[in-house]
């Protein structure tokens, strides 16, 4: 009965595409325990070391006590809303100086739910070709049309908008700010110019920038001063904040529309209240105190050839990428091979992801292990 599935899995194994779940023994801020080894974790999105942090966990539990349940047991539109949900949404709206905010269960839920809801029949989306799979899935589920423009190619985007914009009612430009697999940054100022010139809306996914960039850690939109020009900003709590869930913030009409039309929001059981409370506590009490650390992390990323805290080491072929991971493991580093379809064919890579407690000397052996020509490519 399952022969066709087994055949596909065998093909994946033969092409070094097969994925499996790792049996980790534990995590401790910037370290991970795997196969009996304590390794520097270079594959984590725990950018500010709030997750797996015993001191922070203990401090929060002392603050929270037994005030917050461990389960919501309902969708938000039923009985799944308690005061702490509204408080977090109000806090986010205030931070961004927007009308409203809305929580989602994950960044994936947010992107699928936003793109599929807002792009109605007769509407169009212009999407960066390297946008996350969740954005692509949301566009495919929408009733509208979508076009993908070459990565960060603003001239190509404008030509596409010129050709297509007048055929549709509403037009949305969707882009990540910091791209998850390349670590580079969208040219958001020029995209804002196109928004104004061609009457489009802009949706920016700040998943990998929220908590890291900007004076207050709100992301690249804050850092370059375009929050007011952005129609919707999406952020996640499961990366830099060390919690779970996601949010979108923008005008009241768009948030109300999502409450009424976004299926992942409507039909999902709400995040447990204790997690919502933890997120709010981190934003109010911990995020303001780590500005210097996150700035040092970004500087370290640039020093080793990246454009942010995410540094892609592009190897090319799957097998060679996996071999390099093994070499790094034997030298005390945990990395993972990033392979198609996550990245384009022929660009398999190691995605080095820094966290704010990693120090320069801890990467000395890493640099020695990596081919100097490969690192040189990242600096160009």
What is the model's pTM? 0.94
Q: Which residues are catalytic?
A: 180, 208, 239
Going by pLDDT thresholds of 50, 70 and 90, the confidence category of residue 240 is very high
- Select from 16, 7, 47 the least CA-distant residue to 208: 47
Distance CA 297, CA 141 (A): 37
What is the CATH architecture assignment of 16-48+290-379?
Answer: Alpha-Beta Complex (3.90)
Which pLDDT score is estimated for 342?
84
What is the per-residue pLDDT across 154-194, written as a single tens digit (0 to 9) for each?
999 999 999 999 999 999 999 999 999 999 999 999 999 99
Cross-strand pairs, 312: 351
Task: Give the span between the Cα atoms of 40 and 204, in whole angstroms.
Answer: 31
The Cα 162–Cα 192 span in angstroms is 15
Fold assignment, 62-287: 3.40.640
Q: Indicate the pairing of strand 24-28 with strand 31-34.
A: antiparallel
Domain boundaries, the chain: 16-48+290-379, 62-287
Strand partners, 202: 173
Question: For residue range 324-348, what is the model confidence (pLDDT) as tens digits?
Answer: 999 999 999 999 999 888 888 899 9
């Amino acid at each position: 009965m399952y022969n066709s599935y087994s055949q596909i899995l065998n093909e994946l194994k033969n092409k070094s595409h097969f994925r499996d779940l790792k049996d980790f023994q534990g995590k401790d801020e910037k370290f991970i325990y795997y196969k009996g080894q304590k390794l520097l974790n270079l594959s984590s999105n725990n950018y500010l070391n709030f997750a797996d942090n015993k001191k922070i966990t203990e401090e929060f539990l002392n603050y929270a006590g037994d005030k917050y349940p461990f389960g919501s047991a309902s969708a938000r539109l039923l009985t799944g809303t308690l005061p702490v949900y509204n408080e977090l949404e109000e806090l986010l709206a205030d931070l961004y100086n927007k009308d409203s905010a809305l929580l989602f269960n994950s960044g994936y839920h947010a992107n699928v739910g936003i793109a599929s809801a807002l792009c109605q029949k007769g509407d169009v989306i212009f999407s960066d070709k390297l946008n996350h799979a969740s954005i692509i899935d949301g566009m495919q589920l929408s009733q509208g049309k979508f076009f993908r423009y070459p990565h960060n190619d603003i001239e190509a985007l404008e030509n596409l908008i010129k050709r297509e914009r007048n055929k549709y009612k509403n037009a949305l430009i969707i882009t990540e700010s910091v791209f998850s697999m390349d670590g580079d940054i969208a040219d958001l100022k020029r995209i804002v110019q196109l928004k104004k010139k061609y009457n489009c809306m802009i949706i920016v996914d700040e998943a990998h920038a929220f908590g890291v960039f900007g004076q207050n850690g709100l992301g690249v939109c804050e850092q370059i001063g375009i929050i007011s020009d952005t129609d919707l900003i999406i952020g996640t709590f499961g990366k830099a904040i060390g919690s779970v869930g996601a949010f979108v913030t923008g005008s009241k009409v768009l948030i109300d529309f999502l409450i009424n039309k976004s299926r992942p929001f409507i039909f999902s059981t709400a995040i447990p209240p204790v997690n919502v409370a933890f997120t709010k506590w981190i934003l109010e009490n911990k995020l303001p105190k780590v500005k210097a650390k996150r700035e040092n992390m970004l500087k370290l990323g640039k020093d080793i050839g990246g454009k942010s805290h995410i540094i892609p080491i592009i190897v090319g072929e799957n097998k060679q990428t996996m071999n390099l991971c093994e070499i790094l493991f034997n030298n005390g580093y945990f990395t993972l091979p990033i392979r198609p379809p996550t990245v384009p064919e022929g660009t398999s890579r190691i995605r080095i992801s820094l966290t704010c407690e990693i120090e320069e000397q801890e990467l000395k052996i890493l640099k020695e292990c990596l081919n100097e020509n490969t690192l040189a490519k990242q600096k160009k």
